[in-house]
Amino acid sequence: MYNKVILVGNLTRDIELRYSQGGMGIANTGLATSRKFTVNGEKREEVCFVDITFFARSAEVANQYLRKGSKILVEGRLNFDQWVDQSGQKRSKHSVVVETMQMLDSKNSAAAPSDDYPIQQNQPTQSYQQPSYQQQPQSYKKPSAQQMPSSSSIPEIDIDEDEIPF
């Protein structure tokens, strides 16, 4: 199955950072995205509010650099949360677990975010990608001199430069 979400929007509140018992950072906030459209000549805007969660180092980076109103692009996966509230009622909601984020505010506008800040192609951006904990890096071992091919055993290839397509 495939579960991928990409959203661009503004944070609706400051980051709430806490740490698990194992010391991993967990940061929660909200993201507001909007869609503008026209119905019968009337311009309308639909706003969607989504809770988002950062983990590990990305939680600490988000807490350090993002504030309410910051414009970001997030990529992640949709998560279904269920719990029982204080009155005993079953509750649920969908949220996004952030795997990659890109900060879209320039350094100057981060102090005073604007709701209609334009995204420009040459605008400086900062991005951070959550490391994947599902794949462990393979250890690299330098080949020994016995494993390395000697220059005399490497065949020489005669290629006409006119035959190269680039």
Domain boundaries, the chain: 5-129
CB atoms < 10 A from the CB of 43, how many?
Answer: 8
pTM of the predicted model, to two decimals? 0.63
For residues 50-59, one letter each, b for 16 or more C-beta atoms within 10 angstroms of the residue's C-beta and e for the rest, the string is bebbbbbebb
Q: Centre a 10 Å sphere on the Cβ of residue 97 and count the other Cβ atoms it contains.
A: 16
Report the pLDDT value the prediction gives residue 1, as an integer from 0 to 100. 85
pLDDT at 61 over 80: yes
Q: Span 5-129: which CATH code? A: 2.40.50.140
Mean pLDDT within 75-104: 95
Comparing 132 with 153, the larger pLDDT belongs to 153
Average pLDDT over residues 62-88: 95
Q: Is pLDDT above 90 for 11?
A: yes
**Which is nearest to 61 in space by CA: 127, 138, 132, 146?**
127
